Copies of this chain bind each other. A is one copy, B any other.
Amino acid sequence: MTQKDLKTVAVIGGGLIGASWAALFARAGGYLVRAWDPSEAARESFADRADKAAKQLVQLGYRAEGSVTVVETLAGAVHGVDWVQENAPESVELKTKLYREIEPAAPQGAVIASSTSSLRWSDLSQGLAHPKRFILAHPFNPPHLMPLVELYGQDDEVLARAEIFYRGLDRETVRLKREVAGHLANRLASALWREAVSLVEEGVADVADIDRALVNGPGLRWSIIGAHMAYHLGGGAGGIEHYLQHLGPSQERRWKTLGNPQLTPELCAKLVAGIAEEAAGRSIDDLEKERDAKLMATLRLRTKQ
């Protein structure tokens, strides 16, 4: 592949998500990445963060020869690119202001994709001259390791391009049929955590034990089959139909008993103490290293299957 065939991608917002995307675009996609952040400190530390992610990608077998260049201006980052991945903080005002600067400086054919985890397309697309080419493309953190990318947009052709782009980076894309704050994954995570917090509040089990139950029970299962499919198999030979007929009513009764906690200072203190016990002296950095090592082993296993 010659340099001429390589396409350019702009990464706007150079925190952890931006650096992780940049590494993936360069190492898995072979793209020429131009990264920009309004903060000089973030621009200066960007290469280190991206390098760390790139090393993990190389260990996973991704060795495409793209490149990551940090540039001084937003216009310089998006000039002539095919794709813009925006990773600014979660503020409609801040993001829409950025889009007003991106749009005139980027080619009209470039897709503008926001990594937003919680904001809505209809709010973010306000003020864009060409909203059709704007999409939400929400990764699960860290994007260079986690496969999921949740897509939402209003133009089928642009969404089809997004599927080709992200799948080309070995991501698993899921299209939302209508927009909802938190998309799918963070809503599911939030629903589960509400009950996990309630179990701490109610004194049923310690933070560490709840986490251990999840990792050795439902979490392990959901890394292999989804929640709907799990109940299909839970229905025996009759599948989901049998499950819903026989156990649907008991699920509805269970739903009524699930917790609805308030994050009071007392409950927060319990959660903080519980995490300290679970961490058992390991720093955030130690814990992240452990998580990444296990995650990478699981990803290697998946590519073999």
Contact = CB atoms under 8 A, between A and B. Distances in A.
Contact of A232 (B202, B213, B287, B305): B287
Contact of A216 (B148, B178, B220, B237): B148
Contacts of A193: 227-228, 231, 251
Contacts of A186: 254
Contacts of A148: 213, 216-217, 220
Copies of this chain present in the complex amount to: 2
A6 interface: no
A226 B203 CA distance: 18
Interface string A145-160: 0111010000000000
Contact of A226 (B210, B222, B237, B258): B210
Interface string A34-67: 0000000000000000000000000000000000
> Contact residue range for chain A?
35 or more
Contacts of A192: 188, 191-192, 218, 222, 227
A5 to B, nearest CB: 29
Contacts of A188: 192, 195-196, 199, 210, 213-214, 217-218
Contacts of A177: 203-206
Interface of A: 118, 140-141, 146-148, 150, 172, 174-178, 180-196, 199-200, 202-234, 236-237, 239-241, 244, 248-252, 254-255, 257-258, 260, 262-263, 268, 271-272, 274-275, 278-279, 284, 287-288, 291, 294-295, 297-298, 301, 304-305
